[in-house]
């Protein structure tokens, strides 16, 4: 595990985009796992800029999104399809056939559909780089507290904390979905490389539990401690509850000296 501390959200976003760009330039046919949420917006803006200004080429890349609300059509302005198209996918040159986002309009046959999503990831050769955010209760994807650490893509009922946090994205009085389709923790852990972005004081406790706490189903992000190549990008506010920040800075300094490319 590599913990990279950044002064603020803008620095974190730039660092995340540089990591993605480095992977794309290293492997044009990169299979990229994508996340939504406000923390990812700065990264997507910078990737779009790199595509337009620096000729960053996504034409051979393939994407798989983590999750989608059940009950929202792709054109719904609160859907993750809409979020991804508006903020990233429609602004770079990823072929439409290479884009995979769970279908929130599925009414039945969830088991078969989710198995098909898993099979598509497998057929693509697996995810090379998975981008994650983290919830206030430490969840990744929509793997709420008490999710199995071996879970696969499946429907998931949303916790009260997630509903309260995500309600801000919906208009007053607008009905909010109470369930989603999400990649499982086991699915996420099969990615070859994982990068998690965390920004703001509201995420500080979750970040500390994920990085320094015990591995527990109560904090699904803590399962990342089991992964051989995971990088946490954390800004100063989100790092406030970490006990080992001095050590993480020393590791950053040593990594920069020995393998400068690792810090992008």
Domains of the chain: 7-193 (3.40.50.1360)
Structural contact between residues 133 and 37, judged by C-beta atoms closer than 8 angstroms: yes
Question: Is 128 part of the annotated catalytic residue set?
Answer: no
- Buried residues in 77-102 as b, exposed as e (16+ CB within 10 A): eebbbbbbbebbbebbebeeebbbbb
Structural contact between residues 162 and 139, judged by C-beta atoms closer than 8 angstroms: yes
**16-45, pLDDT tens digit by residue?**
999 999 999 999 999 999 999 999 999 999
Identify the active-site residue in 68, 128, 144, 236.
144
Pairing relationship of beta strands 154-157 and 179-182 according to DSSP bridges: antiparallel
Question: Is 169 part of the annotated catalytic residue set?
Answer: no
Question: Is 75 part of the annotated catalytic residue set?
Answer: no
Question: Is 67 part of the annotated catalytic residue set?
Answer: yes
Per-residue pLDDT band for 49 (boundaries 50, 70, 90) equals: very high
Alpha-carbon span 220 to 146, nearest angstrom: 8
**65-106, pLDDT tens digit by residue?**
999 999 999 999 999 999 999 999 999 999 999 999 999 999
For residue 208, what pLDDT is reported? 98
Average pLDDT, rounded, for the chain: 96
Which pair of tokens denotes residue 223? 């399962």
Identify the active-site residue in 118, 128, 139, 236.
139
For the chain, give percent helix, strand, coil, nearest 5.
45, 15, 40
**136-171, pLDDT tens digit by residue?**
999 999 999 999 999 999 999 999 999 998 888 888
Q: Where are the alpha helices (DSSP H) in the chain?
A: 9-26, 41-54, 80-87, 110-123, 160-166, 185-189, 204-212, 245-258
Q: For the chain, give the longest Cα–Cα distance.
A: 55
Identify the active-site residue in 67, 118, 128, 236.
67
């Amino acid at each position: 595990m590599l913990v990279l501390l950044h002064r603020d959200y803008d620095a974190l976003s730039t660092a995340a985009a540089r990591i993605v760009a480095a992977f794309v330039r290293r492997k044009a046919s990169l299979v990229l796992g994508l996340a939504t949420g406000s923390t990812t917006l700065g990264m997507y803006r910078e990737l779009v800029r790199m595509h337009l200004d620096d000729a960053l080429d996504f034409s051979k890349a393939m994407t798989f999104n983590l999750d989608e609300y059940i009950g929202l059509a792709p054109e719904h302005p609160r859907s993750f399809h809409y979020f991804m198209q508006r903020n990233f996918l429609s602004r770079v040159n990823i072929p439409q056939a290479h884009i995979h986002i769970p279908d929130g309009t599925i009414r039945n046959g969830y088991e078969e559909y989710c198995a098909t999503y898993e099979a598509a990831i497998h057929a693509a050769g697996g995810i090379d780089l998975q981008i994650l955010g983290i919830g206030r209760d430490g969840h990744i994807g929509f793997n709420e507290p008490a999710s199995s650490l071996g879970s696969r893509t499946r429907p998931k009922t949303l916790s009260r904390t997630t509903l309260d946090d995500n309600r801000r994205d919906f208009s007053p009085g607008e009905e909010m979905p109470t369930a989603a389709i999400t990649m499982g923790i086991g699915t996420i852990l099969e990615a070859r490389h994982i990068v998690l972005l965390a920004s703001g004081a509201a995420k500080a406790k979750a970040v500390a539990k994920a990085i320094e706490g015990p591995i527990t189903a109560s904090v699904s992000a803590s399962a990342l401690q089991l992964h051989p190549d995971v990088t946490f990008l954390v800004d100063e506010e989100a790092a406030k509850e970490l006990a080992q920040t001095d050590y993480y800075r020393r590791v950053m300094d040593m990594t920069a000296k020995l393998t400068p490319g690792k810090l992008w």
